[in-house]
Every structure is written in structure tokens, then in C-alpha cells.
Amino acid sequence: MDDFSAALATAVRLIASFDPDLRAIVILSLGVSLTASACAFAIGSPLGTALAVYRFRGQGGLIVTANALLGLPPVVVGLAVYLLLSRSGPLGSFGLLFTPTAMIVAQAVLGTPIVVALAHRTAVSVWAAYGDSLLVDGASRLRALLPIMSMGREGLLTAFLAAFGRAIAEVGAIIIVGGNIRGYTRTMTTAIALETSKGDLSFALALGVILIVLSMAVSALSFLVGRAFVGR
Amino acid sequence: MNRWSKKLRAGVIGVVAAAAASALLWAPAVAQEKPQDAAQEKSIVVASTTSTQDSGLFGYLLPIFKEKTGIDVKVVAQGTGQALDTARRGDADVVFVHAKSAEEKFLAEGFSLKRYPVMYNDFVLIGPQNDPAGIKGKDIVTALQTIKAKAAPFISRGDRSGTHIAELSLWKDAGIDIAAEKADWYREIGQGMGAALNMASASSAYVLSDRGTWLAFKNRGDLGIVVEGDKRLFNQYGVMLVNPAKYPSVKKDLGQQFIDWLVSPEGQKVIAGYKINGQQLFYPNAGDPSA
């Protein structure tokens, strides 16, 4: 247990001292993961809702795909994004590899299927309850999307939190596309991987404690803010 | 529709609030990034090895270089093989690695025009203090032969890093065809130097390490140096600018400036000045054309 108490003490000391390196790493982690999950939410929530509202050929396949992609391995997504953004890749001219933008792209790719699958599940039940009356009211399916999303916003909040949780916790994708560059693309998770490899296990664990506290704080805050707006 | 639009408005406000919150979080990061963006020309990407990063050399050296030139050096720390591949894809401006044969291949392929020797240190064979194979103080060839004969646990990097390449060549020197003769005792982990040392520490195994990473390594447990000082354990580092003719995106002026500084008397002095607990980690030798 010595390791754990040493780690806790280090964590407290790091937080109390407002270590500037640590602050930059924390800001980068939160910035990247919140932006990525916001992107995933912006893309995934209308998509998932549309999958519940519209009827078309191949719909079942898409729904299964979105759910199957819940297990998308971060390291594979990282590799694919790496190959796309590399100078020798199709999007190489933008010079995005080893930047925070590349990390946002990778995490947004990971988060989108989560949002699609959860938004779809929520929208299915809302649509079953209110879809017919909306259509009778004269709304087109397109115009029905927003009311359906609005009624399912509790579920959508969960979808956002799940995408954020996935993003803030993963290391496999961002260490490949970000390169773990000190002061530029080093996040909480890649810093933990680095400190572990340097054999500084208690410092790594201290960073881990801070990451868990942060991630819980952000999720709890989003949940409370969201619930205040949901009003239930 | 009124009922919906009211709830919708609440939902939209929620999303906007979330976006604003994330924008607020971003603001300091973006503000930090701004000067970097403005001075985009003033940063380079260096693909290097885990040993230069894990030993703390870059943490010591790069701030001094930045102070002097204003150039931000972004280090992507990988194994030597992977670092050279990153450069082959055009994703780095400079490579700073330690496997002369692999570096010369890189040159021959035209990915760089010139290799500059920078510094050296040496490899050490690390193992449990109680030395189950009984090889303490032996030369490296005898030590490896004994490890194999006694099937003592040995951790191999297995990742085409400079240290892995050196290890394979040492097995060859010992007259052992490791690819054919390896068995359970020989564990290829495919990870960095630190991870290999962590595993050796946890499983009381032998492992080849560069001295710099070993000196900076904190989770030693029961491990210690068992073989050192053999001439065959020499470890040379070299630096190369990626050929701008292959990739026009290469920042050749800034990259060359970094290389020129590393091999200059001033840069060499800084390298020699990096110490952990009074022990020097790297020995500059840019003046040695055969290195």
C-alpha cells in the first residue's frame, strides 16, 4: 500500500502547488476531449435520431453497425487517422499530424458511434410514444427531428457523457496521432504512460488519481447542468 | 408546436452552455498556442528515441536551445526503427537516433543527405542483484552465452529500436542465432526501454539497456548492472535532416540550425553537462568523423 499512499500524497502536492506543466496538461486533456465529444455529439445525435425517425432500406444494417462500432479499438482508430494525416497520406498537406487537432479528430471518430447508438436507442422510444401525433400534427419527419431530440434530451445527455468518458480515458489513439510531445500534445493519459515507462510509478499513479478526479468532476458537472436544463 | 419549441429552446441553451464552457476551457490553451501559430516557422518536429527522452536529456537540452534560438523542438519519442519510418513518411524534420547501420540505410535510400555523429554512451546488461546466471563482471559475449545455456529469463525490446538492433548484433557476436534458438526464457515485449526495465524488475530477468535510461530509471527494485565496459557495448547517436527534396514540407533551415547547434562546441558542452546524481549520461563526439 506504500505505493498508493505515496501516490496520493504526490497527487495532493501537485494539485496544491498548481504545477504549471500539470495545468497545461490538464487544460489540453479537457480541451481535446470536450471538443472531440462535442463534435461527436453534433454529428451523432441528429444521425442517431434520424435512424429512429426515418424508414429506409439498409437502416437495420446502419443501426447494427453503429452498435457494433461501440467496441472500436482506439489503437486502430489512431493508426487509421495517423495514415490519413501523415505527410504521405491523403490529407498530409494540412500538416495536422502530431497536433491537438489530430487528437480531436481521433477521439471524435471514437465517440461518434457511441452517440449514434445511444441517441438512436433514446429516439426509438420517444418516437414510438409521440411520432404518430407529431406526424398527425402535420410535421414532416425532418421537422420532427428536433422535437424528438428535445424530448429525448436526458438520453442525449447520457450519450454525450459516454462519448466524453471514452475520450478522456483513452490513450491508444492520441499517443499515435499526437506523438506525446511535451508541452504540445501531452495529455493526462499519455503523461501517465510516459511516467510508467520511466519507472516513476507513484508519480504516474498520482497523475492517474488527478485524472479520475477531473473526469468525475466534469461528468458530474455536465450531468447536473444538463439535468437543470432538462428540468426533471 | 409551441410546447416543443419551448423545451427545444431549453435544450439549445444547454448545448450552447456546454459549448461555451468548453470554449472557456480552450481559451487559455488557444491563447498559449497563438504565439506558436504566429511563429509557425519557429518549430520543428524531431523523431527520436525513447532513450533520449526517458533519460531526461531532451528535458535538459531543449529549453537551452529554445532560449538561444527561439525554436520550439517538438520531440516524438519512438524506437529508432519507428522514428526512421516516421521520417520516411515525411512526418518529421529531423531524426535523432542510435543505430548506425539503420541510419546508413536511411541515407542510402535518399531520405537524408548527411548524417552527423553527435554523442555516445554505452549499453549495460542489467539483471537481478543475486545474479542467478552467475555472469557478473564477465564480458558480454560470455554473459549472453551463459544466459542462453542456463535459460535465464531475458527481456528483449523486440521493437526494432536502436537497443534491440544492438542486442541482436550482440547475440550474433556470441555465436547464437537467437531467431532460431530462442525459447520461453527469451521474451520479446515490443515496447520501450522503460517498459522493458519495468518487466525485468517485476520478473527478475536480464535486459540490455542504454546507460542513460538506466541511470534515470526509478523503479529498479532488485536490479543492478551485471555487465558493463565491454567495447562491444558502445552506443553511438547520430542526427540527420530529412531530405527536403523528398518532402518540401521539411523545415530545412530550422532543422539544420538545430543540428548545427547540437554539433557545435556549445551544444556539445551542454550535452556533456547533463548529469544525474553526478554521473554524466552522454559523451559528445561530433568531432569524430568515423563515429
Q: Which residue has the higher pLDDT, B39 or B265?
A: B265
Q: Give the closest-approach CA distance of B4 to chain A in angstroms.
A: 6
The CATH architecture that domain A2-230 belongs to is Orthogonal Bundle (1.10)
The predicted complex's ipTM stands at: 0.82
Q: What are phi and psi of A17, to 5 degrees?
A: -85, 0
Give residue for cell 426509438.
Answer: A124
* Domain definitions of chain A by residue range: 2-230
At residue A155, does pLDDT exceed 60?
yes
pLDDT of residue B37: 45
Q: Which of A27, A150, A160 sits opposite B25 (nearest CB)?
A: A27
Between positions 168 and 197 of B, the ones with CB within 8 A of A are 191-195, 197
Q: What pLDDT is recorded for position B1?
A: 44
Q: Residue A148 pLDDT more than 70? A: yes
User: Given CB atoms, is B34 within the 8 Å cutoff of chain A?
Assistant: no
pLDDT digits (tens, 9 = 90+) for B206-247: 999 999 999 999 889 999 999 999 999 999 999 999 999 999
Per-residue model confidence (pLDDT) at position A198? 85
Is the pLDDT score of B39 beyond 80? no
Q: What is the distance between the alpha carbons of residues B247 and B274, in angstroms, rounded to a whole number?
A: 34
As a whole number, the mean pLDDT across chain B is 88
Asked if A200 lies within 8 A of B54 by C-beta distance, the reply is: no
Among A208-212, B7-11, B238-242, the least confident range: B7-11
Burial of B190 (0-12, 13-18, 19+ CB in 10 A): middle
Residue with cell 441528429: A46
What residue ranges define each of the domains in chain B, with the CATH number in brackets?
41-120+236-284 (3.40.190.10), 122-233 (3.40.190.10)
Is A199 in contact with B28 (Cβ distance < 8 A)?
Answer: no
Output the pLDDT for position B36: 43
**What pLDDT shows up at residue B9?**
54
pTM beyond cutoff 0.80: yes
- DSSP β-bridge partners for residue B122: B234
A105-144 per-position pLDDT tens digit: 999 999 999 999 999 999 999 999 999 999 998 889 999 9
Q: What number is the average pLDDT over the span B157-164? A: 93
